[in-house]
Amino acid sequence: MRYRVTHRTTYTYDDDVTDSLAVAHLTPRSLPWQVVHAAQVDVDPAPEDRRADLDAFGNGTVFLQVTTPHRVLTVIGRSEVEVQPSAADQADAVALSVPWEQARPALRPDLPGAWRAVDLTLASPLVDLVPAATAYAALSLTPGRPLGEAVDDLVHRIHADLAYDPRATTVTSRIEEVLDQRAGVCQDFAQLMVAGLRGHGLAARYVSGYLSTTPPPGRDRVVGADASHAWVQVWVPRPDLPDGPGDPRSWLAVDPTNDARVGERHVTVAWGRDYGDVPPLKGVIVTEAESSRLEVSVDVEPLPGGGDVSGSADPGTGAP
């Protein structure tokens, strides 16, 4: 599958912004199953300072500073990406058949580099390791159950137990709120799963990206109707991969929002501990404006020879 991705974010203010600093996660990652043929970030007004770099997780980032006074700021991420069948099809069957208890990195000193995944077993700013989430995951993580089977079961249960409802939560909702509401969006589905897995000592990371979606039957595809999306990667012990957690192939990617393993219609942009590490845009502004408006449009266009897939996803959010 090959896609042309356009992610447009527009901020409108009721007074001049004299200084805007932002960090953008809009550049898809190069992975064994994902080839980035082109990527750029366009900004209007043009930034006086910009720098491309990698963050602590190896994600491509763009740092921006706009000092031209403005009331409208537009940031557009454009990329062309080719995605092959991903970790869902490349996952090693033998590795996924081990009891899940053997996939806890803190207990695998025999595997080179396993320690690198230990920080992803801990709480993070948006993922609290609350007892309720640990208990929820325990129904899937039964003693001795194969890792792949346990993860798939947890994915299925989250999809079945939670309603997809954009009105139920906000970008700052906590894990306990999501469990109480039994509803949310893809960010909530993913962070609940991450919390449940980490509560049992498994390493899990939050992934942001895009999912190509299908229009209703008989309707033309609407440009800008796709959205940013979120899913989960779970560390799988792979003795055959000497780089351990540093090798993307040692992580199983699953999509609890859509009850599926991640496939060739998911475009991976960035991963981290939780949403706070990888929003499309975040930053600060200097202004006397009293109100602002945020508009986000995402288009994932299949190129010739490609296709679409049904699924649920969310508009990208962020600041400034």
Tally of CB atoms within 10 A around 46: 10
Low-confidence winner among 122-126, 158-162, 304-308 (lowest mean pLDDT): 304-308
Alpha carbon 208 to its chain's center: 2
Taking residues 92-119, what's their average pLDDT?
94
Average model confidence (pLDDT) for the chain?
Answer: 91
CA separation for the pair 122, 106 (Å, rounded): 11
Evaluate if residue 320 carries a pLDDT over 80: no
Q: Quick one: pLDDT at residue 204? A: 98
Domains, the chain? 2-83+278-302 (2.60.40.2250), 87-276 (3.10.620.30)
Q: pLDDT value at position 215?
A: 67
Average pLDDT of span 136-162: 98
**What's the Cα-to-Cα distance from 9 to each of 74, 78, 181, rounded to whole Å?**
6, 12, 29
Q: 301 falls in which pLDDT band (50, 70, 90)?
A: very high
pLDDT at 227: 76
CB 150 within 8 A of CB 142: yes
**Beta-sheet pairing, 163-164 with 183-184:** parallel
**pLDDT bracket for residue 77 (50, 70, 90):** very high
**Per-residue pLDDT, 304:** 82
Burial class of residue 254 in the structure, from the number of CB atoms within 10 Å of its CB (0-12 exposed, 13-18 middle, 19+ buried): buried
Q: What is the pLDDT confidence band of residue 90, given thresholds at 50, 70 and 90?
A: low
Task: Report CA dihedral (94, 99, 105, 108) to the nearest 10 degrees.
Answer: -80
pLDDT at 221: 65
What digits encode the pLDDT tens for the residues 190-245? 999 999 999 999 999 999 999 988 666 777 666 656 778 999 999 999 999 989 99
